[in-house]
């Protein structure tokens, strides 16, 4: 523990920091934690240690000074102290180990292990690297001498002719370092100088060795460095720090503090400080220890030489190295070279350049060169004879082994230069032993085959004879037993059938008789009970009808009397009110005339004037009389009408009297019915008595039936049990069938999806071909004439066939379009829908124009009516109020009727189906009820008009006298009381206007009701037609086969939905028009209100304005609430597509911006066009977007990043259209804010299908790009490259171990495939592709890898071996590990590698017995029979432990697999593409938070 304590203290000492006070002094921070821990571990005082780390003691002849040191010197002193402690601890450990190993017996030899320094070269090399490389130079020199000496001694000993080879001698480099005036001498000399520095030492080196020694160089760009050419490589050393590290000064005061430690082990380290280590004590340790430089005291002690204190680190290192070399030269060394395959300690990773660098640094390459020049393989004569005795014939074997070997070698190897005979060994050049091993293995294999053939034939013949004899005996006994059993079974079966026949007949006959008797009894009882109930019900209904008849008549009469009383009372009240008003006015006028007379008594002139006025009034009176006569005529007609009404009422009274007579007759009938009731009661009693008797009889029958019931229950339970068992079996079979059918349906669905996507792929290919042909035709047609320039057109001529905005405007494009139609036409429904929508657009535009004209016309009429009303004389206030009240009431009633009609229309449109529109359906009944209520409302309105007319007549009667103006004198008096002659005319005009106004309102209301009735009748007619049409379609569908019926019903449903969609769009457009009209009116009213307010402000006097104090008001700026839309002008659409699609670089967008940003921007533009209700803008934008994406993919379709980027954005655009479509299925995961952003005016379901098809095309293009990139890598990385080294073959003994050949840089490995997969995955993740879509892409990639690998394996015989199977399984495990790291194990990619995995397992399993064949058949379920047989035929053994697969075994496999239904195709379809799906993936990103970066160049777009 003490050693570990000292080591921990050294580490904490290295963490001590210093803070400088000034340039010449420094301090340790107070309570410094590393220093505190160091002092606690070492047992020294904190203050003393902190003081002497920052100070030193200087002694002169008379005094002693304590001088502070700078921060740099303090750090050097701290490091020197740590090294000194460590060196003493090392020496102490070595001494104790040597003492423990010391023995009393004299040592003649020892074994030492030397861990040599490795050759070091870094970016910055200092004094440590210099010393290490110096030691390597010495050790390399000794290694070369030893190796070359041994090799040459071996050849000399065996007396083989050999020419000596020169090798590289590194003695000049050693002389440069350690010779006189070498680098170390100059360094020691500079350390002795009082003001020596690294710079001056560097200059001395340049002056001494530059241009004089070839191994010494100076760097071009530095004056503080030098370069030495070592045996391994050039190394550049930085001179900075060389002098300080060479001096390595330790102050005595710090040592004294450590010697005063309370920790016992620490002072013990410094007791033998001045001892010099012996060479034998240094050698057994791992590295050669260097004794630290002696401690520098403050004053020289007497008797101590100064030489000991002046030894530098370099001097000590050189002396220690010389001692080591003497020890090595005196011993017999053996070398172990350790080569690191890589610097990162990774498994299965070999860095070729690093290994070659280590071999060069160790001098192994030089050794290999010498060995290759000689004979690397060698055998003794006895070993060669025993190994290759197989190749010799009996006559070639002699008693002399040496001569035998010579004779054999001369026959086997013709070139005598390939081998040499020594005294005791045979020496071979490289490759000859492998050739001899091959010949030996072929000979042994042929002999083994011959032996196996003979033995197996004898064994199989013996086994066959024994088995045949046993089989014949067993067959004889078994057939006899089976015949006896079958005869016995036939007899028993016949007897059982006879018994069953008679027993079943008896049981069924007995059961039938019981059931028949019971049924007859029950029928009699039930029929009697039902007849009685029916009689009672008919009796009650008859009585109830009589009561209802009388009650309803009484209620109708009561209601009529109440309404007539109320009408009379209202008329009286109104007439009284009008009479009072008229009386009041007449009284006022009378008072004014009398006053006038009092004031003007005696004024005869004025009386004469009045007389004249009276005459004039008389004339006017006559004219009025004529008018009144006309009014009387109209009045007489009205009275006649009223008289006819009175007569009608009298008739109703007579009917009432007749009703009373009927009541009396009904009372007589009631009396008769009472008598009948009494009779029925008596009959009831007799029936009850009979029922009691019947009850006793039935009880007896019931007891008998119960007994029979028990028997029946037992039989029933038995039957139920059987039925239950059968039901279980049926349910199990049905479940199995259901599971199989669901699997089959899934497979059919995938096949249909694959077929559809293949059609899309074919269509895209034809479309590209069509574009190319069209471009060629354009080039041929538009050949520029001489003298004219041709301008490029940015307008795309390739309109997408899926969009609905493509309209043919030029006659030249017509033939091309007609040729394109057969390939573009997807289904007749799409084209019919396209034509219908196009026709609908034109109709809507015409309707819009007509409505606009009608609106302008209505506004002009309203202005004219307003002008007429201003010119019209004012009507009396009371009449106008009454008139306005009635009009408001009528308008409210009219609105109510309209609301009910709208509700009815909504109910009909929401539930429009054949069942709803049937005559007995609820909607049909609601429609009839609404029609009846409307007709009743019309009748009420007619009655109100009649009441108003009667009130007008009463007003006229109130003005005229009650005797219809026959008394002229009374009329003259009334006329004389009038003040003004125009009042009567005004009253008459007012009545006439009110009458006309009411009549006009009645007419308009009548017309509106008639229009509504006609519209409802039209809707009823259309519903009937729809119903008839649905019934006809249903009848037609029933006649069709099931498949055609489903297709016809789907077709019909789609057409019906499109029609409903168009109707709803019409209603929405009408509502939008009304909203716009109301907004326009609101703007007009707001303008008028503003003008009125301005007029009021002008009316205010200036004095009022001046008196009011003006206070400053702080108007807060309201932050703009963005709605998640982007606005752009129509002419900027091409610029938008160009900047956002055509010229966008995916790499910048994927790294720096939000994933899917272009898709979000395009959708926000679509939202704004939807908000404006601009269908043309929506179509144009979507068409341009789709065509732009197609152009980009056509132009840069080979770039994986581009294709992946636009696949991700197309899917995100598709998900946005779904998420914000307003459909409930896509709105489940939306926030309330996102639900507000849904599209309001357009349904883009058809465009979603177009984008889905486009995404499928992009996905297929992405798969093709992946395949083109991966295809060159797969065979090399999965099959040819040896990921596990040394598995491919077993090398024979006698060969020296050699490294395997290094693969060329151009070949691909498994790592390159995984790196490419990582690249693909990271790019797709950066682009924000959906995780489910990434899984499908990875599944497709792994299928391509597995298919290509398996196909090459099936076509190459050299790949079908046990070792290659192991290699493939390892490679597959690496791919599975990659899937596990990326969390893609559930993507189905692993299942696509199953055929390859089974092929690799097939190469590794045993292939001999029937059990092996059974195991292979059960294991290889993913491989076809042809593939299994092909692998077994191609199987090739690599070494002697493997065997070829027998033909009989292959035939056994074929027999076992003959019932398997699989494809006869040998190779897998590497071009197969799995059907892709795009699961809905909503986005949580809020549209209003998206910012458009300036780098996209979309400054013309503004957020809304």
> What are the tens digits of pLDDT across the range 131-148?
999 998 888 888 877 777
d(CA 970, CA 958): 14
Across the range 430-451, mean pLDDT stands at: 91
pLDDT at position 974 over 90: no
User: Which pLDDT value is given to residue 300?
Assistant: 39
Instruction: Give the residue, 938 or 1037, on which the prediction is more confident.
Output: 1037
Residue 516 has pLDDT above 70, yes or no: yes
Q: What is the pLDDT of residue 1358?
A: 83
| Proportion of the chain above pLDDT 70, given as a percent | 74
Alpha-carbon span 580 to 585, nearest angstrom = 9
* Choice between 891 and 139, residue whose per-residue pLDDT is larger: 139
Confidence of residue 1103 (pLDDT cuts 50, 70, 90): very low
Q: What is the mean pLDDT of the chain?
A: 77
Does position 513 have pLDDT exceeding 90, yes or no?
Answer: yes
Residue 968 has pLDDT above 50, yes or no: no
Cα separation, 669 vs 92, in Å, equals 144
DSSP result, 1437-1467: --STT--PPPHHHHHHHHHHTTT-------S
- Examine the pLDDT at 13 and tell me if it is beyond 50: yes
pLDDT at 780: 66
The better pLDDT of the pair 1046, 1357 is held by 1357
pLDDT class of 547 with cuts at 50, 70, 90: very high
Band of the pLDDT at 979, cuts 50, 70, 90? very low
Average pLDDT over every residue of 1368-1390:
90
First to last CA, the chain: 76
Structure tokens at 432: 């000859």
Are the CB atoms for 664 and 550 separated by under 8 Å?
A: no
Place of tokens 């008595």: 689
Tokens read off for 915 = 């069942």
Which residues are within 8 A (CB) of 909 and not within 5 positions of it... i.e. 6 or more apart? 1060, 1063, 1064
What is the DSSP-derived secondary structure letter of residue 1295? S
Give the burial class of 1014: count Cβ atoms within 10 A of its Cβ; 0-12 exposed, 13-18 middle, 19 or more buried. exposed
- Dihedral Cα 477, 480, 483, 486, nearest 10 deg: -50
Confidence (pLDDT) at 847: 66
Whether pLDDT at 30 is above 80:
yes
Split at pLDDT 50, 70, 90, the class of 417 is confident
Is residue 559 predicted with pLDDT exceeding 80? yes
Residue from 758, 748, 756, 835 nearest 1249 by CA: 756
Write down the pLDDT at residue 1038: 66
DSSP reduced 3-state for 398: coil
Q: In this predicted structure, what is the pLDDT of residue 914?
A: 43
What are the φ/ψ torsions at residue 1242 (nearest 5 degrees)? Answer: -125, 145
Residue 492 pLDDT > 90: yes
Q: Can you tell me the mean pLDDT for 253-277?
A: 77
For 56-107, write each residue's pLDDT tens digit. Answer: 888 877 788 888 988 888 888 888 899 889 989 998 999 889 888 888 887 7
Tokens of 1148: 């910048």
- 98 Cβ contact list (under 8 Å, min separation 6): 281, 284
Average pLDDT over residues 187-216: 89
The model's pLDDT over 1388-1410, given as tens digits with 9 standing for 90+, comes to: 898 999 999 999 998 888 888 88
Radius of gyration of the chain (CA): 59
Res 59: pLDDT: 80
Q: Between 1038 and 84, whose confidence is greater?
A: 84
Can you give the pLDDT at residue 1223?
85
- Is 109's pLDDT higher than 90? no
Would you say residue 314 has pLDDT above 90? no
The yes-or-no verdict on residue 349 having pLDDT over 70 is yes
Return the minimum-mean-pLDDT range out of 424-438, 620-634, 1175-1189, 1210-1224. 620-634
Q: Residue 112 pLDDT more than 90?
A: no
Are the beta carbons of 248 and 85 closer than 8 angstroms?
Answer: no
Please report the pLDDT score of residue 950 as a whole number. 57
Spatial separation of the C-alpha atoms in residues 1141 and 1189, rounded to whole Å:
7
Whether pLDDT at 764 is above 60: yes
Distance between CA atoms of residues 1266 and 1272, nearest Å: 11
**Over pLDDT 90: what percentage of the chain?**
20
Question: pLDDT value at position 446?
Answer: 93
pLDDT of the residue at 528: 93
The pair of structure tokens assigned to 881 is 């109020």
Q: Quote the pLDDT of residue 873.
A: 45
CB 960 within 8 A of CB 628: yes
pLDDT at 1265: 92
Are 226 and 216 contacting, i.e. CB atoms less than 8 angstroms apart?
yes
pTM metric for this prediction: 0.38
């Amino acid at each position: 523990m003490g050693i570990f304590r000292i080591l921990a203290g050294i580490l904490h000492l290295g963490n001590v920091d210093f803070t400088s006070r000034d340039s010449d002094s420094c301090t340790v921070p107070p309570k410094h934690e590393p220093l505190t821990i160091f002092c606690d571990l070492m047992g020294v005082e904190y203050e003393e240690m902190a003081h002497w780390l920052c100070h030193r003691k200087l002694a002169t002849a008379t005094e002693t000074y304590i001088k502070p040191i700078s921060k740099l010197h303090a750090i050097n002193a701290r490091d020197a102290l740590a090294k000194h402690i460590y060196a003493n601890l090392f020496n102490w450990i070595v001494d104790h180990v040597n003492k423990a190993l010391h023995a009393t017996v004299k040592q003649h030899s020892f074994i030492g292990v030397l861990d040599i320094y490795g050759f070091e070269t870094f970016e910055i090399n200092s004094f440590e690297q210099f010393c290490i490389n110096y030691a390597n130079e010495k050790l390399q020199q000794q290694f070369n001498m030893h190796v070359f000496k041994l090799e040459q001694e071996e050849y000399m000993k065996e007396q083989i002719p050999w020419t000596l080879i020169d090798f590289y001698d590194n003695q000049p480099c050693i002389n440069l370092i350690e010779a006189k005036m070498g680098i170390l001498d100059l360094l020691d000399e500079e350390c002795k100088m009082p003001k020596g520095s690294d710079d001056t030492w560097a200059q001395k080196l340049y002056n001494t060795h530059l241009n004089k020694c070839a191994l010494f160089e100076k760097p071009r760009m530095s004056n503080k460095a030098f370069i030495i050419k070592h045996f391994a490589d050039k190394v550049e050393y930085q001179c900075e720090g060389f002098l300080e590290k060479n001096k390595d000064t330790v102050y005595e005061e710090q040592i004294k503090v450590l010697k005063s430690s309370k920790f016992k082990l620490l002072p013990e380290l410094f007791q033998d400080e001045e001892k010099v280590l012996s060479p034998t004590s240094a050698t057994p340790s791992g590295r050669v220890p260097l004794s630290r430089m002696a401690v520098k005291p403050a004053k020289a002690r007497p008797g101590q030489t100064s030489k000991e204190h002046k030894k530098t680190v370099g001097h000590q290192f050189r002396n220690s190295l010389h001692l080591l070399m003497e020890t090595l030269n005196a011993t017999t060394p053996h070398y172990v070279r350790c080569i690191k395959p890589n610097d990162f300690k990774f498994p299965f990773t070999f860095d070729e350049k690093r290994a070659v660098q280590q071999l060069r640094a160790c001098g192994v390459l030089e050794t290999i060169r010498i060995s290759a020049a000689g004979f690397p393989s060698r055998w003794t004569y006895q070993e060669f004879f025993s190994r290759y005795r197989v190749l010799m014939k009996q006559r070639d074997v002699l008693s002399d082994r040496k001569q035998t070997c010579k004779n054999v070698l001369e026959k086997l190897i013709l070139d005598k230069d390939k081998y040499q005979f020594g005294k005791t060994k045979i020496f071979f050049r490289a490759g000859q032993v492998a050739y001899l091993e091959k010949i030996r293995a072929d000979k042994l294999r042929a002999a083994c085959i011959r032996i196996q053939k003979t033995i197996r034939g004898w064994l199989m013949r013996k086994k066959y004879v024994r088995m045949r004899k046993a089989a014949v005996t067993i067959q004889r006994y078994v057939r006899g037993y089976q015949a006896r059993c079958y005869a016995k079974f036939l007899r028993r079966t016949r007897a059982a059938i006879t018994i069953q026949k008679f027993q079943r007949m008896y049981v069924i006959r007995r059961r039938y008789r019981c059931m028949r008797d019971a049924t007859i009894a029950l029928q009699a009882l039930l029929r009697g009970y039902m007849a009685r109930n029916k009689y009672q019900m008919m009796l009650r209904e008859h009585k109830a009808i009589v009561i209802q008849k009388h009650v309803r008549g009484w209620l109708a009469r009561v209601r009529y009397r109440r309404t007539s009383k109320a009408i009379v009372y209202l008329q009286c009240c109104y007439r009284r009110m009008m009479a009072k008003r008229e009386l009041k006015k007449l009284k006022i006028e009378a008072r004014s005339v009398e006053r006038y007379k009092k004031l003007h008594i005696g004024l005869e002139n004025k009386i004469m004037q009045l007389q004249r006025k009276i005459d004039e009034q008389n004339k006017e009176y006559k004219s009025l009389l004529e008018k009144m006569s006309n009014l009387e005529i109209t009045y007489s007609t009205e009275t006649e009408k009223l008289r006819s009404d009175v007569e009608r009422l009298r008739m109703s009274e007579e009917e009432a009297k007749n009703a009373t007579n009927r009541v009396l007759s009904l009372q007589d009938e009631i009396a008769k019915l009472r008598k009948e009731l009494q009779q029925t009661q008596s009959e009831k009693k007799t029936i009850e008595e009979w029922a009691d008797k019947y009850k006793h009889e039935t009880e007896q029958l019931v007891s008998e039936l119960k007994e029979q019931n028990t028997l029946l229950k037992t039989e029933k339970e038995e039957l139920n049990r059987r039925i239950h068992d059968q039901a279980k079996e049926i349910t199990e079979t049905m479940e199995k069938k259901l599971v199989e059918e669901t699997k089959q349906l899934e497979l059919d669905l995938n096949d249909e999806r694959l077929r559809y996507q293949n059609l899309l792929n074919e269509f895209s290919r034809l479309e590209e071909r069509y574009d190319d042909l069209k471009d060629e035709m354009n080039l041929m047609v538009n050949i520029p004439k001489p003298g004219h320039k041709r301008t490029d057109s940015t307008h795309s001529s390739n309109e997408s066939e899926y969009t609905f905005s493509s309209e043919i405007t030029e006659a030249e494009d017509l033939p091309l379009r007609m040729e394109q139609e057969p390939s573009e036409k997807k289904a007749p429904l799409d084209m019919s829908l396209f034509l219908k929508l196009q026709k609908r657009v034109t109709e809507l535009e015409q309707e819009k124009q007509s409505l606009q004209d009608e609106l302008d016309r209505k506004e002009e009429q309203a202005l004219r009516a307003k002008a007429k009303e201003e010119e019209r004389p004012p009507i009396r206030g009371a009449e106008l109020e009454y008139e306005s009240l009635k009009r408001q009431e009528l308008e409210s009633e009219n609105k109510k009727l309209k609301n009910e009609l709208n509700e009815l229309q909504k109910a009909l449109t929401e539930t429009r189906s054949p069942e709803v529109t049937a005559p007995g359906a609820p909607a049909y009944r609601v429609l009839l009820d609404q029609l009846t209520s409307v007709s009743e409302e019309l009748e009420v309105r007619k009655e109100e008009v009649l009441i108003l007319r009667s009130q007008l007549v009463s007003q006229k009667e109130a003005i005229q006298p009650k005797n219809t103006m026959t008394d002229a004198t009374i009329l003259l008096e009334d006329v004389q009381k009038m003040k003004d002659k125009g009042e009567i005319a005004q009253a008459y005009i007012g009545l006439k206007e009110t009458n006309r106004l009411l009549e006009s309102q009645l007419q308009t209301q009548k017309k509106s009701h008639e229009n509504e009735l006609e519209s409802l009748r039209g809707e009823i007619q259309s519903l009937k037609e729809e119903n008839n049409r649905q019934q006809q379609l249903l009848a037609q569908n029933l006649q069709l086969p099931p498949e055609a019926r489903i297709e016809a019903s789907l077709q019909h449903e789609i057409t019906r939905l499109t029609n409903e969609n168009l109707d709803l769009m019409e209603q929405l457009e009408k509502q939008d028009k009304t909203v716009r009209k109301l907004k326009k009116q609101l703007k007009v009213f707001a303008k008028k209100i503003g003008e009125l307010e301005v007029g009021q402000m002008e009316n205010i006097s200036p004095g009022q304005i001046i008196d009011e104090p003006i206070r400053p008001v702080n108007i807060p700026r309201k932050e703009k609430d963005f709605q998640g839309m982007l606005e752009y002008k129509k002419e900027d659409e091409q610029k938008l597509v160009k900047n956002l699609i055509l010229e966008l670089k995916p790499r910048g967008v994927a790294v720096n911006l939000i994933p899917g940003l272009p898709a979000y921007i395009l959708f926000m533009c679509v939202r704004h066009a939807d908000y404006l209700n601009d269908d043309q803008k929506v179509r144009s934008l979507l068409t341009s977007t789709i065509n732009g994406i197609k152009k980009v993919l056509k132009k840069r379709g080979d770039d994986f990043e581009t294709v992946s980027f636009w696949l991700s954005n197309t899917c995100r655009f598709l998900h946005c259209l779904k998420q914000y479509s307003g459909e409930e299925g896509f709105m489940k995961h939306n926030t309330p804010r996102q639900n507000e952003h849904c599209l309001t005016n357009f349904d883009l379901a058809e465009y979603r299908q177009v984008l889905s098809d486009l995404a499928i095309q992009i996905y297929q293009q992405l798969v093709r790009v992946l395949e083109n990139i991966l295809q060159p890598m797969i065979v090399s990385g999965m099959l040819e490259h040896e990921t596990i080294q040394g598995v491919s073959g077993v090398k024979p003994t006698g060969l020296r171990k050699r490294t395997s050949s290094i693969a060329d840089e151009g070949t691909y490995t498994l790592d390159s495939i995984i790196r490419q997969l990582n690249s693909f995955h990271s790019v797709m993740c950066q682009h924000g592709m959906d995780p489910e879509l990434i899984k499908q892409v990875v599944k497709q990639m792994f299928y391509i890898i597995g298919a290509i690998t398996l196909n090459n394996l099936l076509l190459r015989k050299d790949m079908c071996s046990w070792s290659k199977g192991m290699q493939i399984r390892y490679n597959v495990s690496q791919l599975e590990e990659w899937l596990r790291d990326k969390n893609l194990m559930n993507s189905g990619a692993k299942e696509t590698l199953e055929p390859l995995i089974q092929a690799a397992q097939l190469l590794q399993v045993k292939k001999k017995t029937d059990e092996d064949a059974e195991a292979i058949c059960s294991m290889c379920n993913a491989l076809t029979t042809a593939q299994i047989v092909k692998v077994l035929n191609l199987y090739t053994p690599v070494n002697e432990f493997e065997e070829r697969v027998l033909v009989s075994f292959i035939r056994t496999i074929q027999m076992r697999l003959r019932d398997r239904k699989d494809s006869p195709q040998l190779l897998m379809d590497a071009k197969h593409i799995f059907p892709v799906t795009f699961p809905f993936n909503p986005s949580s990103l809020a549209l209003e938070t998206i910012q458009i970066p300036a780098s996209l160049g979309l400054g013309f777009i503004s957020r809304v």
